[in-house]
Structure 1
Amino acid sequence: MLTFVGLGLYDDRSVTVAGRDAIRDADRVFAEFYTSRLVGTDLETLESTLDTTIEVRDRAGIEQDPEPILSAAADRNVVFCTAGDTMVSTTHADLRLRAENRGIETRIVHGTTAQTAAGSLTGLQNYRFGKATTLPFEDAHGGDGVPDSVVATIEDNRDRDLHTLVYLDIKVDDPHWDDSDDTYMTADAAASLLSEPFPDTLGVVVARAGSPDPLVAADTLEDLATRTFGDPLHLLVVPGSLHPLERDALTAFAGAPIE
């Protein structure tokens, strides 16, 4: 049995009771933290809270060499953990398909997703979000500014009056917990990049979703680029047209200018 468990958004307490129970009942527990991170905790604390030993795998250890996970799951109870909700990344879907193709039973224990948290915190209606996109660091995509694919996604969503959730890049090749200052793209850096292709455009920052002190801020991208939003993780939403209730929510909860 291979059980995929989403650990939630922030720290060692974000996992559901069902996820915690699955982890504690497992013979072996694997995890990856390169697609996202639990920035409110560290590996030692996570293992202590969940009363287990977690075998952290890097990108190559999941995508190129999943054999240790699959072999263990063939005859034992194995859990594979990710931050947020599992199956959001194609990496996780691929691992599940590999298990199914080998006759290994799989199941999923969900965690909170960044997209649903962004909708809840901002008051933007969940069914009005279009395709999401990821904004990479400039040196990660070999060019300057915003990749054409990111611009196209936002433009297509706005043409249909849909909101765009913009995930912000994480610099990580191997899982580790000693982060440099530029490990995480910040919302002000993202707003600065996006303000060039989208001048005079409303943006909404969501910082530390799932933590005790989340922050939501709405303003033009140019203005957001001049502010700081504290510790990671950050997200940025570029809204489409706003329903009156969404306008009221952004004014009340995110400090959006009335105009």
Structure 2
Amino acid sequence: MGFKEQIDINRLPEHIAIIMDGNGRWAKNQGKFRVFGHESGVLSVKDIVEGCVDIGIKYLTVYAFSTENWNRPIEEVNALMELLISTINEQADTLNKNNVRLNAIGDLKSLPQKCIDDLASVMEKTGKNTKCTLTLALSYSAKWEILEAAKKLAQQVKDAELSIEDIDEEKFASHLTTTNIPDPELMIRTSGEHRVSNFLLWQMAYTELYFTETLWPDFRREDLFEAIVDYQKRERRFGKISEQLN
């Protein structure tokens, strides 16, 4: 029996977040340049998106490029940006075919203008799709996101549009880039690294974490299904004890 057949469709996570790690190491193992790993990783993204659509995952967020990634060698950054632009353009029809809406979060204005324009175009083309929302975290940092939310709230207080007493978790979350997206129930990180790397720190307060040794270019929908099966075996207590849940 495959992992897909073991999944309880009635207990699917609504939102899965993924840190796609290991492209560079995968390429090195192949004796190739790092960009070859990033190119191969695009195939994994496509397969995972289709896997989510196949079983009914409503939201998928992938960590595509962090603010820290700008510190990589300029040749790799440029290649990543070119790859991102070409992939966005090439996948528009496929996203529509699978009824997937494209979304993006992060400091998007720091991206090349061509990338910004193409992102906006594809998000508009797929804006009415309802099967799944694919969110790309680009030039993203959770610390940056939290600071931006704090600044917006502080400005509203300063302008007498909001009182300090009105600021609660819901109000704060409404100023994050994920305001219209539910918090992820499951976060998957590939390549064997066991950290969250400045990804969705506020949103992952109670997210189940799943780590796999598989490098991202080798990660396919069966690996996704395995992670979901593992998730469904866990007891999510949110501070309560087992007896209260039962």
Decide: shared fold, TM above 0.5: no
Using structure 1 for the length normalisation, give the TM-score. Answer: 0.29
Name the structure, 1 or 2, with higher relative contact order (CA <8 Å, separation 6+): 2
